[in-house]
Structure 1
Amino acid sequence: MDPWSAFLDSEGRVMDPDALRKRIFYGGVEYDLRKEVWKFLLGYHACDSTYAEREYLSSVKKSEYEILKSQWQSISPAQAKRFTKFRERKGLIEKDVVRTDRSISFYDGDDNPNVALLHDILLTYSFYNFDLGYCQGMSDLLSPILFVMGDESESFWCFVELMEHLGPNFNRDQSGMHSQLFALSKLVEILDCPLHNYLRQADCLNYFFCFRWILIQFKREFEYEKVMRLWEVLWTRYLSEHLHLYVCVAILKRYRKKIMGEQMDFDTLLKFINELSGRINLDDTLRDAEALCICAGENGAACIPPGTPPSLPIETGLLCSQQEQDEI
């Protein structure tokens, strides 16, 4: 019996969701099990669903996806000329997918069908959630999901579930990002007071140098396999729904002496943070983040205002337009 099957009863229900989340938090998910397990972590499948119910759901959702996809596939060239929003979103998606993870064999080469799937899923999502539409960074969030799922419909619905939690990251007024950056500043204040005081003196308390980390969940900071490991840890919400903020604190604490010793101003700090990409040790960072989360306890939880993403579903009316989303 494989480790995953041990968590399921005879009809396929997850018997102990908390034990499963703990197992994934500390041990990750084996590559060949991710396609099934991620559906539960993302909320596409309910833990109390049976094999039969999941098979039925997959069939229903596949049909629903095809209907959604047909909405933009049926737009004629003449109609597209009179549909500015469609042309804008389609153009942005086409521009972004051809530069998303092309170094990964799954997406490399000319006329790669998986790049075409990225395009189709993102354009379909922009019709499914028309208020949110498409913003730069979404292709980064979809890429590993499609890589793992290998199925267009299931990738779409898993992406939908992910965006229910991360959609506020793309709010037009950046309120979702601001709330997380505010919470991060409060966590640093209680977990690393010297660094907090330095950043205050350097006029860096807006923490915008961590913007990319939070917006796309460290997608560009680690190599591809490490990103998937990190994401499944975050998705367990085992210690905290906001563990990603403790990951930020862990990285900043690790480089505190360099930041303070070199008296970095905002521009220097932003450059330094961006250049950490590919150089951060994930295992050490996760251990540090876990320890910081436990250390902070209730005081840490109190630093995070209610409704701070990823705990808040998407709110309509506050979402970004394509032109307003800055380059990441």
Structure 2
Amino acid sequence: MIVVWGKPRQPPLGSKEWSAFLDVEGRVMDSKALRKRIFYGGVEQSQRKEVWKFLLGYHDYDSTYAEREYLTSIRQSEYKTLKSQWESISPAQAKRFSKFKERKGLIEKDVVRTDRSFDFYDGDDNPNVMLLRDILLTYSFYNFDLGYCQGMSDYLSPILFVMKDESETFWCFVALMERLGPNFNRDQNGMHSQLFALSKLVELLDSPLHNYFKQNDCLNYFFCFRWVLIQFKREFEYEKTMCLWEALWTHYLSEHLHLYVSVAILKRHCNKIIGEEMDFDTLLKFINELSGQIDLDSTLREAEALCICAGENGEACIPPGTPPSLPIETDLLYPQQDD
């Protein structure tokens, strides 16, 4: 087990402290200091609706109150237009639109299984479940090439819970998918590049564990597939997931902190994995059963320590363009204004 020397977690960012980061026109004066503060403490639930828009790339850090208000109104109108595209499809049209029927069916199956034990989505005929469906269907028309894939509802669920606004949730989800959409590509290149990077990081940071995986044909790291695909969404309780995502979204120490989190968890259980001579199937079962058993605070501290320890050598393990390092195309989120 590694020595934990990452900095202790701080209390979450509250409204008074958040206000102190803004100038009189609403610009974030020091985005790096803000991201550092959130990395170490997260954000109070009451402030998430505002702060997440910056972390996700819906708002630019140097935007003003007036610019953000204008953007929101424009985006509401654009969302209605996008949503109307699938709402206007008649049953007769749907019969001849197999791709729409297929995606709609998959979305409807998934949303009724997404976070139903959480109060916000609990119960029959829950309107928030219907909002998940509507937003995902709209996204499948916004990004028709990518469409919908299982796992997207896991990302959308906390965003809707925080935003509680259909249009804002949609555009925040769009911004997140600009980074993480490659996780869902059919060729799985986005996933393969991350799992490859993870294997190189383990080789760098824990050579005995790497050698064990190599000897047991486990170097594809598919046992970590779920961790990477939905960034630990099913490994932690809801609130802890949001705290973790806030740390990841800051990109404070690395754009790929989720990979260091993966290494930290594997290192913590290294002796058990090797000692019990786990093969791939046993390892997969063991990893899945860690769900709900991982301490987030100590894991984040260990991931921070590993990231600092790895330094430039760690970043060199990660191929260029590996998600979520793809830049956000801000022109998609910020409409051009006429002079």
Which category describes the TM-score, using the shorter chain as reference length? over 0.9
Counterpart residue identity of residue 3, structure 1: E
In the other structure, the counterpart of 1:324 is none
- Whether the aligned pair in 1 keeps the contact of 2:175 and 2:328 (CA below 8 Å) is no
Which amino acid is the alignment partner of residue 153 of structure 1?
S
Q: RMSD across aligned C-alpha pairs, in angstroms? A: 1.1
Corresponding residue number in structure 2 for 1:188: 202
Please give the secondary structure, in 2, of the residue aligned with 1:4: helix
Cα distance in 1, alignment partners of residues 327 and 210 from structure 2: 30
What CA distance in whole angstroms lies between the structure 2 residues aligned with 1:174 and 1:23? 34
Distance 1:9 1:28 in 2: 21
Aligned to 2:141: 127
Normalised to the residue count of structure 2, the TM-score between the two structures is 0.92
Match of 1:141 among 135, 155, 172: 155
User: Are 1:169 and 1:215, in contact at CA under 8 Å, matched by a contact in 2?
Assistant: yes
Indicate if the aligned counterparts of 1:168 and 1:313 stay in contact, CA closer than 8 A.
no
Question: Does the alignment pair 1:47 with 2:75?
Answer: no
The residue number in structure 2 matching 1:320 is: none
Partner of residue 12, structure 2: none
Secondary structure in 1 aligned to 2:121?
Answer: coil
The answer for the alignment partner of 1:269 in structure 2 is 283
Is contact 2:260-2:306 (8 Å) kept? yes
Q: Deviations over 1:170-223 (max 9, x none)?
A: 111111000000000000001000000000011100000000000001000000
Q: What SS class does the counterpart of residue 171 from structure 2 fall into?
A: helix
1:173 corresponds in structure 2 to 187
Instruction: Supply the AA of the counterpart residue of 1:107.
Output: Y
Quote the offset at 1:314 in angstroms: 9.3
| Deviation sequence 1:69-101 (CA, Å, 0-9, x none) | 000000000000000000000000000000000
**SS state at 2:298 partner:** helix
Contiguous gaps of at least 5 residues in structure 1: 316-328
Distance 1:158 1:7 in 2: 21
**In the alignment, which residue of structure 2 is the partner of 1:153?**
167
Which among 74, 98, 101 is matched to residue 84 of structure 1?
98
Deviations 1:242-273 (A, max 9, x none): 00000000000000011000000000000000
Residue 216 of structure 2 contacts residue 280 of structure 2 at CA under 8 Å; is this kept in 1?
yes
Distance, in Å, in 2 between the alignment partners of 1:262 and 1:203 is 16
| Mapped pair 1:235 → 2:234 | no
Matched residue pairs, number?
315
Once residues 205 and 23 of structure 1 are traced to their aligned partners in structure 2, the CA distance between those partners, rounded to angstroms, is 36
* 1:185-264 equivalences in 2 (<5 Å): 185-264=199-278
Deviation at 1:313, TM superposition (A): 5.6
Match of 2:107 in 1: 93
- What 5-or-longer segments of structure 2 have no aligned partner? 1-14, 330-339
Deviates most, 1-10 or 157-166: 1-10
Counterpart check, 1:294 vs 2:312: no
Q: CA deviation at 1:167?
A: 0.4
Give the Cα separation in 1 of the matches to 2:326 and 2:246: 19
**Partner Cα distance (1:77, 1:298) in 2:** 56
Counterpart residue type for residue 70 of structure 2: Y
> Which letter does structure 1 place at the counterpart of 2:85?
Q
Please tell me whether the aligned partners of residues 126 and 132 of structure 1 are also in contact (alpha carbons under 8 angstroms): yes
Give the partner amino acid of 1:81: K
Q: Distance in 2 between matches of 1:191 and 1:229?
A: 25
Question: Aligned residue for 2:321?
Answer: 307
Alpha-carbon shift at residue 311 of structure 1 (Å)? 1.0
In 1, distance between residues paired with 2:155 and 2:39? Answer: 20
Residues 186 and 303 of structure 1 are in contact (CA less than 8 Å); yes or no, is this contact kept in structure 2? Answer: yes
Residue 295 (structure 1) shift: 0.2
- 2:27 match: secondary structure: coil
- TM-score after normalising by structure 1: 0.95
Measure, in 2, the Cα distance between the counterparts of 1:223 and 1:200: 32
User: C-alpha deviations, 1:258-302, integer Å up to 9, x for none?
Assistant: 100000000000000000000000001000000000000010010
> 2:57·2:328 contact (CA, 8 Å) conserved in 1?
no
2 CA distance for matches of 1:15 and 1:118?
34
Say whether the 8 Å CA contact 1:185–1:205 is kept in structure 2.
yes
Q: Distance in 1 between matches of 2:205 and 2:160?
A: 37
Corresponding residue number in structure 2 for 1:113: 127
Answer whether contact 1:179 1:308 (CA < 8 A) is retained. yes
Identity rate, percent: 84
Distance 1:28 1:186 in 2: 29
- Quick one: distance in 1 between partners of 2:309 and 2:81? 49
- How far off is 1:312 after superposition? 2.2
